[in-house]
Structure 1
Amino acid sequence: MKTSLLISTYNSKSYLKAVLNSIRMQTVFPDEIIIADDGSSDGTAEMLINLKDTFPVPLIHVYQEDNGFRLSRIRNLAVKAASGDFIIMIDGDMFLTQNFIHSHIKNAEKGVLTQGARVKMKKELSFRVKDGYEFPNLFSWGIKGLRYRKHAINSPLLARIFTSTRNDIKNIRGCNLAFWKQDYESINGFDNDFGGWGREDSDFAQRLVNNGIKIKHVRCGCIGYHIWHTGNSQENLDINHELLLDTIKNKKVRCNNGIDQV
C-alpha cells in the first residue's frame, strides 16, 4: 500500500510550516505529501522549495490560481497528482500526533472511509504550537472543553474498543479523512460545483455511502490538533446545502463536475 498525505492550504504559510514540522516527527512517514494550494500568494511556494531538499519524503506542490474558495477543485487536482492508492487528507491547520500516519494505516480497510479525530485548541495554545514552543497532548492547557479533551486520548487499545463503523455522514469532517483513491475516482471525487465554505465534505461522504462505502469513526487514534484561526465566510452555505440535499434526495453517486473535469 502506497500512502499519499494531502494537505489543503490557502495563504497560511506559518500554519502549514507547523503542520509539516509535525510530519517530520511521525513514527511512520507517508510515501509522499501533496500540498493542495488554493492560490496562495504569501510565499508558500518559496517555503516549500526551501524545504524540499531536507524533507524526509517528497513534497509535491499542486497550485491553482486564486479565484475564490475552490477547495473541492484543488483537492481533485491534488488527488489526480497523487501516486498513492491510499489517501490521507487533512487541512493545513492540523498539527498531527506522532503516530498519526501509522494510526491511519492501521485503520485502513477496503470499502471504508476513515474519519479521524479533531482536537480544537484555544488561541493561546494554538499559537504556542504553531510557533514551535509546545507539542500538544491530552494534558495541554488550552484544549477547548471536555469534549475535545476526550478526543485527545491516544491509545491503540482504546481505539479498538471505541471505534465504530456506520453508513451515515453524521460528524463528517474533511480536515481529517482517509480513503482509497479507487473509491474516490468511482464517485468522480469532490464536486467542483461547491464554491465557498461548507457541505463539500458531507456531499463527498454521502456519495461514497450511496456507493456502498462505510464510514469508520476512529476514537483514541488518528488524532489531529486544530490550530485556531478566524473562520471562513459562510455566504455560500445555503447554496451548498441545497446541493447536498439534492445528493441525499436523489441518492447520487457520481457528480457531474469532479476530478474528471479538472
Structure 2
Amino acid sequence: MSSPQISIIVCTYQRPANLRRVLASIAGQREVDGKFEVVVADDGSTDETPQIVEQFRKSVRFPVQFTTHPHGGFCPGRARNEGVAASRGEYVLLLDGDCLLPRDHVRMQLAKRMPGVVRVGDSIRLERGPSASVSEEFATRGRLTRVASLAERARIKLRAAKSTFYNLRNHPDRPRLIANNVALWKKDYERVNGFDQSYVGWGAEDDDFGFRLRRAGLQLRTILWWTTCYHLWHPKDPSAPDGRTGGDNYNYLRRGFHLVKCCDGLVKRTWQELSIAAAGPLPTSSVLRQIFPDSRPRFVADGPAEVEVLFTPGPGAFTGRAQCNVLVALDHSADSLLAAPEAHLVLSNEPLPGVPSERQFLLTQWQTA
C-alpha cells in the first residue's frame, strides 16, 4: 500500500457526538481521493469512541487508524504525538475532535504546502444552538457557513490579515499556532520532537510547540485566506484556568527557556542525550563525581550546544548561544552572584540570594533540574 500524501490527526477525548460529525466532515472531502489517511488520536476515552472509529473505518474507502492510552490527565500533546508516530504520510494535518472541515479543506492544505513552512489557522466558533443543529449528513455536505455567525466569519478574515501583516514584519511570535487546525511536514514535527507532554491540562502546549518550531528555523504562515474549520460548541474544560494565561501550564511555558527538541515528546530524551558545553573551566574530577555520581555529561568541544554549564567560582561566562544556561554554583562567591542573572537554572548546596526558588535546585538534583 502506497503512503498517503497527508495524514489527518484527529485529537479527541470523551466527546463521541462531536467526533462522529468531525469524521463525517472528513468523509465529505472532495478531489483528494487516495491522497489522505485518518488517525484518530484518543487521550484515553472510556466511552464509545473506539466503536465509533471502527464503524467509520468500515464505512469509508480511505485508511483509518486509532491510537489511545490510559487517561492520565488531559494531555492532548501525548495523543497527537502517538497519532503522528502511527501516521504514514509525509505531511500531517492536526485537528481537534470538535472541528468540522469544509469540503475543500484537505485539498487546500495540500495545495499550500511549502518547504520550511508551517500552515497555521484557527476555527470559526459555532454557538451552542447552531452546533446542536449540525447533523452528520450536514457535516458531510460541508455547507458550514450557513451555521456560522457573520461576526465570527469577519473575525477569521481579520485574523488572516493580521497574520499576513505579522509575517511581513517578521514578528518574533506571531501568528500564533493553534493546534486545532495546523499542517506541517512530518519531518519538521519530528525535528522538534513533537509536543511537550509535560503540559497536562488545558492550554499552552500549542504556544510551546509554535515557539520551538520558530526556534528550529521554520516559518509560520496562515492558511486562513483559503480555508478554516468550524468549532463545535462544548462546555469549558474543567482543567482550563479562569484566564487564558493562568494556571500551571502557562507558568511552565514562562519558565524562561525551551529546548527546541523537547525531552518529553515523540521520544523520551534523558539528560545524557542532550548536547552540553562547558561555559568555562571544568572543576576537579572529584567535584564532578559529586554532582554526577552515576553518569558524567559528555561535554561537546565545538559547535553550538543545547545546554551550557558554567561552574563557579572561576572564570567563564555564558555565550548566549545555548537554549538553556545552567549555573553550578559551588559557593556564594562574586563569580556565582554575577553569573546567576544569566542562568535559567541554578544548582547549589544552598539557595543563591536573588534567584527565584523555582529556578534553584540542589547539586544532587541535576537530573530533576
Instruction: Work out the CA distance in 2 between the residues paired with 1:23 and 1:210.
Output: 32
Number of equivalent positions: 251
Q: Does 1:25 align with 2:28?
A: yes
Note the alpha carbon deviations across 1:23-43, whole angstroms, 9 max, x for none.
111112552101000011111
For the 8 Å contact 1:210–1:251, the answer to whether it is kept is: no
**Structure-2 residue corresponding to 1:38:** 43
Measure how far apart 1:67 and its partner are. 1.5
Instruction: Work out the CA distance in 2 between the residues paired with 1:193 and 1:251.
Output: 12
Q: Which of 9, 17, 21 is 2:12 aligned to?
A: 9
Q: Which structure 1 segments of 5+ residues have no match?
A: 154-158
**Structure-1 residue corresponding to 2:194:** 189
Q: Which structure 2 segments of 5+ residues have no match?
A: 270-369
Measure how far apart 1:97 and its partner are. 0.3
- Report % sequence identity: 27
**Structure-1 residue corresponding to 2:103:** 98
Instruction: Work out the CA distance in 1 between the residues paired with 2:62 and 2:180.
Output: 21
State how 1:206-245 maps to structure 2 within 5 Å: 206-233=211-238, 234-235=240-241, 237-245=246-254
Whichever of the two has the greater Rg, that structure is 2
State how 1:43-192 maps to structure 2 within 5 Å: 43-130=48-135, 132-133=137-138, 135-138=142-145, 140-141=146-147, 143-144=148-149, 146=151, 148-150=152-154, 164=164, 165=167, 167-192=172-197
**Structure-1 residue corresponding to 2:203:** 198
Give the 3 Å change call, closer, same or farther, for CA 130–245 of structure 1 in structure 2: farther
Greater relative CO, 1 or 2 (CA 8 Å, sep 6+) = 1
For the 8 Å contact 2:120–2:223, the answer to whether it is kept is: yes
Instruction: Work out the CA distance in 1 between the residues paired with 2:17 and 2:127.
Output: 17
Note the alpha carbon deviations across 1:42-74, whole angstroms, 9 max, x for none.
111112222212212111000111121011111
Give the 3 Å change call, closer, same or farther, for CA 237–162 of structure 1 in structure 2: closer
Measure how far apart 1:240 and its partner are. 1.2
For the 8 Å contact 2:196–2:209, the answer to whether it is kept is: yes
**TM-score, with normalisation over the residues of structure 2?**
0.63
Give the 3 Å change call, closer, same or farther, for CA 229–205 of structure 1 in structure 2: same
Letter matched to residue 79 of structure 1: V
For the 8 Å contact 2:175–2:221, the answer to whether it is kept is: no
Tell me whether 195-204 or 228-237 shows the greater mean CA deviation. Answer: 228-237
Instruction: Work out the CA distance in 2 between the residues paired with 1:3 and 1:185.
Output: 15
Q: What is the Cα-based RMSD across aligned positions, in Å?
A: 2.4
Instruction: Work out the CA distance in 1 between the residues paired with 2:209 and 2:103.
Output: 28
Instruction: Work out the CA distance in 2 between the residues paired with 1:193 and 1:222.
Output: 31
**Structure-1 residue corresponding to 2:356:** none
**TM-score, with normalisation over the residues of structure 1?**
0.87
Measure how far apart 1:150 and its partner are. 2.4
For the 8 Å contact 1:7–1:90, the answer to whether it is kept is: yes
